[in-house]
């Protein structure tokens, strides 16, 4: 990229002091005497123009906090992590200059913040509002957790204050037109940045934490992910271009570096650049603002970028720091306009700005703000189902949906000019056939962002790859219409591990007999004349959209309805749309479908509308039949978009295909599992003959199938896939020769049972304090899955909401992970097993028995009262769910209690009374176990009352 020289170090601040407005949320001058506020930084790593900090400064003391939360950081590229570290270092320095500091704490935000709030007795937590789905959930989690935090002497929990940096001065940001044209007509004034806040730090000694290095962070993030997740993330490190070259065997000839997520390279000393290529600005707020001042004044800089595309320079340079909030969008706008005024003696021409850099900066931040507002105001197509979610990809806002709780994952990708709503009559239908369906509006279309970049088929393939990795999280059956079909085929070619099967619905791309590779052009520039071409094309499309759409629906033109036309027109007026259209002139679809899907044919379904006006369907089908005989081809009576024109016909085809492809997949899996199991069996037989138990551990560690933390589970899953779980477990590997080797000493396990609200958790806390056991609450582990949006998160949420029991395999797997990763040998497993099936699964998978089973016996009315007062914001703590939970407890948990009673392991404790009284009855039970006394923190005296504790042995 030809970048002209931007001054490395801007020697003095070119910016003037400017008038700053007052933050609306904090215009009152009243201070909150004696109170402490926590300001939680996420994507607002600055002090300048920070309304949250300003509002918090009304408190007597402010604690600026950054939480190193894996759920947030794991979505960053390596470059972004590096930029964030630089910004955090700077933020800390700036705060220190003011006599404050930046606190850095590791962990889940809800726990870190709740603990800090208790520690410093904070009254308020300030946090910037979010639009991204996973971040909104993190924020929700924090809010709920804080609702349950009561500080002694305080009547109410600490309040959480959500703040924004409003770009436009508007009473309501949630009631704005959805069309850019209409929005511009409002001529909303752009708000001014607020001044940096001054505030005091709390007097007490606090642990501020140290700044991590990039390697620290990478290790920290790696730890939290399983092997598959780490492998997938690795996959995302290399750009599509690089993988393509590798696949085509061209890599040696090209000396290219990964274009997506290479490391930043060497920071250019004494400059605002963080890359040796000098194409990314980084640093703290002051550095970035100075770089901006330099950029604006270096007009030749932007004209140098004209070679690529006018206006593209700004996002390239400043996009990453804007996404981390090191500078706010409105500060950028303010600086650009001030500079424009400076050039023109205070005058702003109504005909446009005199400096190309000012246009580039203002256009970019206005465009970013527009897509932010669309995200904020996202509608629901159907109130009940298609709730739009937002995902951020490389800083761009992308819309998507997910429907369905069970079954295989399915991804639907639309065609050129369309959006996720083009699958309006497919999503629910496919989900109702027991599938989980994700639909995405890809970058540049619908209401997803349309940044000023060069759009290529490889960029879109990368977007889909990252969506699969970050959002879907497992391989999916990928359906694509038109150009979406080509993207999907490209993804299957480049990253086959992500794709279970491919469904091409009137896909773009050729089918070429005797194809031999042509060199792929690496230089992606906008072809000469593309800009003009795109403008003319846009004009033509806008004018003819209705007719063109109807032509694509020859059998059922009524389906080309006002909804589609209006949304296409709306999107066609969005900022940035011309750049997307330019891509039509620059696409490279030269790799034919039959080449891309070689080896994948058996996993490919082609649905071809035979009345497609855009291509020659007869020819395409004939060629596919000839060249890819293993593909399944369904010819249907429809035009270019059969899924939307005749959904009633296409949906069953897709659903049947998924069932078939999934069972084929399982057959394959079974075959490979059975091979692996045979292999393990062979090893097992061999070893059984000549080795001792101790050696089994080595077998377990050596076997690729049972490597990693979930050895026995993987084995079990494979076995149950073969429906020989029991026989495999008992016949081939006897318990005493188990693959999961016993640790030196069997762990001490306590199951804590009792109805909902019987006080299990409360007593567990006291047991932990006294005897140092590790507490594993099954309910908490499941709720953590929900909060972390793991693949089972949605399913668990739905079950918990309904008071139902989560499948044993899921819960036991979570418990197993905790047991295996813990150094402790003494566990309190709280709220588990809930059912006999849970119990059997635990015994089968973990191969351990509890030493003690506590049962907190509590009358129903008392449990109801406690649960309804629990006030932890739990979704299931309401009377309707509570009734269901009690029913389920009586029906399913009682048999477990009886089982342990018969085994003589049950200790029944009357759970009515004060917490301390009840604990007095727990103490002697644990006291009677020598191994627990070792680490007991107190020397508890027995006050065992025979009427209160009953051991059934």
Ligand X SMILES: Nc1ncnc2c1ncn2[C@@H]1O[C@H](COP(=O)(O)OP(=O)(O)O)[C@@H](O)[C@H]1O
Annotated binding site for CMP: 838
Residue 776 bridge partners (DSSP): 829
Among 325, 647, 741, 756, contact with ligand UDP (rule: CB under 6 A) = 756
Q: How far is the C-alpha of 429 from the C-alpha of 276, rounded, in Å? A: 51
Whether the bond into 693 is cis, omega within 30 of 0: no
- In a 10 Å sphere around its CB, with 0-12 CB exposed, 13-18 middle and 19+ buried, how is residue 418 labelled? buried
H or E element at residue 105 = strand 103-106
Q: Which is nearer to ligand X, 290 or 758 (CB)?
A: 758
Q: Which is nearer to ligand UDP, 446 or 779 (CB)?
A: 779
Among 408, 576, 754, 793, contact with ligand X (rule: CB under 6 A) = 754
Q: How far is the C-alpha of 367 from the C-alpha of 315, rounded, in Å? A: 11
Q: Which is nearer to ligand UDP, 111 or 674 (CB)?
A: 111
From the CB of residue 84, how many other CB atoms can be counted at a distance below 10 Å?
26
131 touches, from ligand X, ligand UDP, none (C-beta below 5 to 8 Å by class)? none
Q: Is residue 759 a contact residue for ligand X (CB under 6 A)?
A: yes
Among candidates 463, 450, 414, 443, which has minimal Cα distance to 577?
450
Q: How many CA atoms lie within 13 A of 756 on its CB side?
A: 27
Q: Is residue 439 a contact residue for ligand X (CB under 6 A)?
A: no
User: Shortest distance, CB of residue 912 to ligand X, whole angstroms?
Assistant: 7
Positions at the binding site: 757-762, 783, 804-806, 831-834, 838, 870, 874, 885, 913
Q: Which residue has the tokens 């061209």?
A: 250
778 touches, from ligand UDP, ligand X, none (C-beta below 5 to 8 Å by class)? ligand UDP
Residue 750 bridge partners (DSSP): 828, 852
Residue list 789-808, contact with ligand UDP (CB under 6 A): 799-800, 803-806
Give the SS3 label for residue 634: strand
Tokens at residue 149, please? 């935090």
Rounded to an integer, what is the distance from CA 781 to the centroid of its chain? 18
Q: Which is nearer to ligand X, 199 or 907 (CB)?
A: 907
Q: Which is nearer to ligand UDP, 271 or 777 (CB)?
A: 777
799 touches, from ligand UDP, ligand X, none (C-beta below 5 to 8 Å by class)? ligand UDP
Tokens at residue 444, please? 């540049």
Q: How far is the C-alpha of 609 from the C-alpha of 606, rounded, in Å? A: 10
Q: Is residue 834 a contact residue for ligand UDP (CB under 6 A)?
A: yes
141 touches, from ligand X, ligand UDP, none (C-beta below 5 to 8 Å by class)? none
- φ/ψ bin of 821: left (φ > 0), alpha (ψ from -120 to 50), beta (otherwise): alpha
Task: Write the interaction track for ligand UDP spanning residues 838-877; mark x where CB under 6 A is met and - where it is not.
Answer: x-------------------------------------x-
Rounded to an integer, what is the distance from CA 387 to the centroid of its chain? 16
Spatial CB neighbours of 258, under 8 Å, sequence gap ≥ 6: 237, 238, 239, 242
User: Shortest distance, CB of residue 819 to ligand UDP, whole angstroms?
Assistant: 14
415 touches, from ligand X, ligand UDP, none (C-beta below 5 to 8 Å by class)? none
Q: How far is the C-alpha of 894 from the C-alpha of 360, rounded, in Å? A: 68
Contact range with ligand X by CB under 6 A, out of 65-73, 478-486, 581-589, 754-762: 754-762
User: Shortest distance, CB of residue 949 to ligand X, whole angstroms?
Assistant: 15
Q: How many residues contact ligand UDP, by CB under 6 A?
A: 20
Task: Write the interaction track for ligand X spanning residues 904-933; mark x where CB under 6 A is met and - where it is not.
Answer: ---------xxx--x---------------
Q: Which is nearer to ligand X, 79 or 877 (CB)?
A: 877
User: Shortest distance, CB of residue 904 to ligand X, whole angstroms?
Assistant: 24
Q: Which is nearer to ligand UDP, 368 or 829 (CB)?
A: 829
Q: Is residue 774 a contact residue for ligand X (CB under 6 A)?
A: no
Q: How far is the C-alpha of 596 from the C-alpha of 510, rounded, in Å? A: 10
Rounded to an integer, what is the distance from CA 284 to the centroid of its chain? 26
| DSSP conformation letters of 169-192 | --S-SSS--SSHHHHHHT-PPBPP
From the CB of residue 823, how many other CB atoms can be counted at a distance below 10 Å?
5
Q: Which is nearer to ligand X, 480 or 759 (CB)?
A: 759
Q: How many residues contact ligand X, by CB under 6 A?
A: 15
User: Shortest distance, CB of residue 311 to ligand UDP, whole angstroms?
Assistant: 52
Q: Is residue 761 a contact residue for ligand X (CB under 6 A)?
A: yes
Q: Is residue 832 a contact residue for ligand UDP (CB under 6 A)?
A: yes
Among 757, 803, 833, 850, contact with ligand X (rule: CB under 6 A) = 757
Q: How far is the C-alpha of 818 from the C-alpha of 776, rounded, in Å? A: 8
Tokens at residue 628, please? 């890819």
Q: Is residue 141 a contact residue for ligand X (CB under 6 A)?
A: no
Residue list 398-457, contact with ligand UDP (CB under 6 A): none
Q: Which is nearer to ligand UDP, 449 or 877 (CB)?
A: 877
Contact range with ligand X by CB under 6 A, out of 385-393, 698-706, 756-764, 780-788: 756-764
Tokens at residue 463, please? 């977007």
Contact range with ligand UDP by CB under 6 A, out of 99-107, 150-158, 274-282, 773-781: 773-781
Contact range with ligand UDP by CB under 6 A, out of 42-50, 266-274, 539-547, 830-838: 830-838
Give the SS3 label for residue 241: helix
Q: Is residue 760 a contact residue for ligand X (CB under 6 A)?
A: yes
Instruction: Supply φ then ψ for residue 874, to 5 degrees.
Output: -75, 135
Where do the H-state alpha helices sit in 261-298?
285-297
Residue list 375-394, contact with ligand UDP (CB under 6 A): none
Contact range with ligand UDP by CB under 6 A, out of 662-670, 737-745, 829-837, 851-859: 829-837
Q: Is residue 241 a contact residue for ligand UDP (CB under 6 A)?
A: no
Q: Is residue 803 a contact residue for ligand X (CB under 6 A)?
A: no
Among 46, 71, 477, 885, contact with ligand UDP (rule: CB under 6 A) = 885
Residue 579 vs residues 144, 416, 538, 543: alpha-carbon distances, Å? 43, 13, 10, 19
Cβ pair 800, 786 in contact under 8 A: yes
From the CB of residue 8, how many other CB atoms can be counted at a distance below 10 Å?
15
Among 47, 194, 492, 782, contact with ligand UDP (rule: CB under 6 A) = 782
User: Shortest distance, CB of residue 870 to ligand X, whole angstroms?
Assistant: 4
Cα-based angle 486, 490, 491 (whole degrees, multiple of 5)? 120
Among candidates 739, 742, 743, 745, which has minimal Cα distance to 699?
739
759 touches, from ligand UDP, ligand X, none (C-beta below 5 to 8 Å by class)? ligand X
Q: How far is the C-alpha of 610 from the C-alpha of 554, rounded, in Å? A: 10
Q: Is residue 77 a contact residue for ligand X (CB under 6 A)?
A: no
918 touches, from ligand X, ligand UDP, none (C-beta below 5 to 8 Å by class)? ligand X
Positions at the binding site for ATP: 757-762, 870, 913
805 touches, from ligand X, ligand UDP, none (C-beta below 5 to 8 Å by class)? ligand UDP
Among candidates 632, 644, 662, which has minimal Cα distance to 477?
662
Among 24, 784, 870, 874, contact with ligand X (rule: CB under 6 A) = 870
Q: How far is the C-alpha of 228 from the C-alpha of 233, rounded, in Å? A: 9
Q: Is residue 757 a contact residue for ligand UDP (CB under 6 A)?
A: yes
Rounded to an integer, what is the distance from CA 778 to the centroid of its chain? 23
Q: How far is the C-alpha of 855 from the C-alpha of 851, rounded, in Å? A: 13
Contact range with ligand X by CB under 6 A, out of 355-363, 719-727, 820-828, 863-871: 863-871
Q: Is residue 833 a contact residue for ligand X (CB under 6 A)?
A: no
Where do the H-state alpha helices sit in 257-355?
285-297, 299-305, 312-323, 329-343
Which spans of this chain sit near ligand X (rule: CB under 6 A)?
754, 756-762, 866, 869-870, 913-915, 918
Binding residues for ligand UDP, per CB under 6 A?
A: 756-757, 760, 777-779, 782, 799-800, 803-806, 811, 831-832, 834, 838, 876, 885
């Amino acid at each position: 990229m030809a970048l002209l020289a931007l001054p490395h170090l801007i020697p003095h601040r070119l910016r003037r002091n400017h008038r700053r407005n007052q933050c609306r949320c904090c215009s009152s001058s009243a201070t909150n005497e004696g109170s402490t506020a926590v300001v939680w930084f996420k994507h607002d790593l600055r002090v300048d123009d920070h309304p949250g900090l300003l509002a918090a400064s009304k408190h007597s003391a402010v604690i600026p906090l950054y939480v190193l939360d894996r759920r947030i950081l794991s979505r960053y590229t390596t470059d972004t992590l590096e930029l964030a570290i630089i910004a955090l270092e700077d933020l800390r320095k700036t705060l220190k200059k003011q006599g404050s500091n930046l606190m850095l704490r590791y962990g889940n935000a809800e726990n870190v913040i709740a603990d800090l709030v208790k520690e410093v007795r904070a009254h308020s937590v300030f946090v910037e509002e979010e639009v991204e789905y996973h971040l909104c959930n993190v924020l929700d989690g924090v809010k709920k957790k804080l609702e349950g935090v009561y500080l002694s002497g305080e009547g109410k929990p600490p309040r959480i204050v959500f703040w924004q940096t409003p770009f436009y001065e508007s009473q309501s940001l949630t009631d704005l037109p959805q069309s850019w044209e209409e929005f511009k007509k409002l001529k909303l004034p752009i708000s001014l940045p607020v001044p940096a806040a001054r505030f005091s730090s709390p007097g007490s000694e606090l642990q501020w934490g140290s700044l991590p290095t990039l390697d620290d962070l990478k290790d920290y993030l790696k730890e939290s992910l399983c092997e598959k997740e780490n492998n997938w993330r690795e996959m995302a490190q290399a750009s599509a271009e690089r993988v393509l070259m590798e696949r085509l065997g061209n890599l040696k000839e090209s000396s290219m570096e990964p274009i997506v997520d290479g490391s930043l390279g060497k920071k250019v000393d004494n400059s605002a650049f963080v890359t040796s290529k000098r194409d990314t600005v980084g640093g703290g707020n002051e550095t970035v603002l100075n770089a901006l001042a330099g950029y604006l004044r270096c007009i030749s800089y932007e004209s140098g970028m004209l070679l690529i595309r006018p206006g593209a320079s700004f996002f390239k340079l400043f996009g990453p720091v804007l996404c981390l909030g090191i500078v706010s969008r409105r500060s950028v706008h303010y600086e650009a306009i001030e500079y424009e005024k400076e050039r023109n003696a205070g005058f702003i021409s109504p005909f446009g700005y005199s400096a190309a850099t000012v246009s580039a900066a203002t256009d970019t931040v206005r465009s970013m703000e527009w897509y932010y507002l669309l995200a904020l105001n996202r509608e629901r197509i159907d109130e009940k189902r298609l709730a739009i979610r937002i995902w951020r990809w490389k800083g761009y806002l992308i819309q998507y949906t997910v429907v369905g709780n069970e079954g295989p994952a399915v991804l639907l990708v639309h065609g050129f000019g369309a959006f996720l709503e083009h699958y309006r009559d497919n999503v629910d239908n496919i989900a109702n056939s027991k599938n989980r369906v994700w639909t995405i509006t890809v970058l540049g279309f619908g209401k997803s962002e349309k940044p000023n970049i060069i759009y290529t088929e490889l960029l879109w393939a990368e977007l889909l790859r990252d969506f699969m990795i970050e959002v879907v999280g497992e391989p999916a059956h990928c359906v694509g219409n038109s150009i979406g079909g080509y993207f999907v085929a490209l993804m299957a070619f480049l990253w086959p591990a992500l794709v279970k099967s491919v469904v091409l619905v009137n896909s773009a791309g050729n089918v070429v007999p005797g194809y031999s590779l042509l060199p792929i052009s690496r230089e992606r520039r906008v072809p000469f004349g593309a800009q003009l071409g795109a403008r003319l094309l846009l004009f033509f499309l806008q004018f003819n959209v209705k007719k063109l759409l109807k032509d694509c629906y020859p059998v059922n033109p009524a389906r080309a309805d006002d909804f589609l036309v209006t949304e296409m027109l709306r999107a066609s007026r969005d900022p940035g749309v011309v750049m997307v259209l330019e891509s039509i002139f620059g696409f490279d679809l030269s790799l034919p479908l039959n080449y891309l899907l070689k080896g994948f044919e058996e996993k490919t379904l082609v649905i071809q509308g035979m009345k497609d006006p855009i291509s020659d369907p007869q020819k395409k089908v004939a060629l596919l039949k000839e060249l890819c005989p293993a593909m399944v081809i369904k010819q249907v009576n429809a035009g270019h978009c059969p899924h939307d024109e005749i959904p009633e016909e296409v949906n069953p085809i897709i659903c049947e295909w998924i069932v078939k492809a999934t069972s084929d997949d399982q057959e394959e899996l079974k075959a490979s599992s059975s091979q692996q199991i045979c292999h393990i069996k062979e090893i097992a037989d061999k070893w059984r003959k000549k080795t001792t138990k101790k050696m089994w551990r080595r077998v377990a560690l050596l076997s690729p199938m049972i490597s990693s933390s979930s050895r026995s589970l993987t084995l079990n899953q494979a076995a149950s896939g073969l429906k020989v779980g029991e026989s495999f477990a008992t016949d081939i590997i006897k318990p005493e020769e188990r693959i999961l080797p016993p640790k030196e000493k069997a762990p001490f396990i306590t199951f804590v049972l009792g109805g909902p609200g019987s006080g299990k958790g409360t007593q567990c806390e006291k047991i932990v304090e006294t005897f140092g056991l590790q507490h594993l609450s099954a309910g908490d582990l499941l709720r953590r899955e929900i909060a972390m949006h793991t693949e089972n998160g949605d399913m668990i949420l739905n079950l918990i909401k309904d008071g139902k029991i989560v499948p044993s395999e899921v819960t036991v797997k979570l418990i197993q992970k905790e047991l295996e990763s813990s150094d402790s040998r003494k566990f309190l497993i709280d709220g588990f097993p809930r059912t006999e099936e849970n119990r059997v699964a635990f015994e089968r998978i973990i191969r351990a028995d509890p030493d003690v089973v506590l049962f907190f016996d509590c009358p129903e009315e008392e449990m109801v009262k406690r649960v309804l007062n629990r006030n932890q914001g739990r979704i299931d703590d309401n009377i309707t769910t509570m009734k269901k939970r009690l029913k389920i407890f009586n029906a399913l948990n009682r048999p477990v209690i009886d089982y342990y009673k018969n085994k003589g392991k049950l200790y029944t404790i009357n759970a009515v009374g004060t917490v301390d009284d009840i604990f007095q009855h727990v103490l002697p039970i644990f006291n009677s176990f020598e191994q627990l006394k070792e680490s007991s923190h107190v020397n508890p005296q027995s006050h065992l009352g025979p009427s209160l504790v009953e051991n059934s042995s």
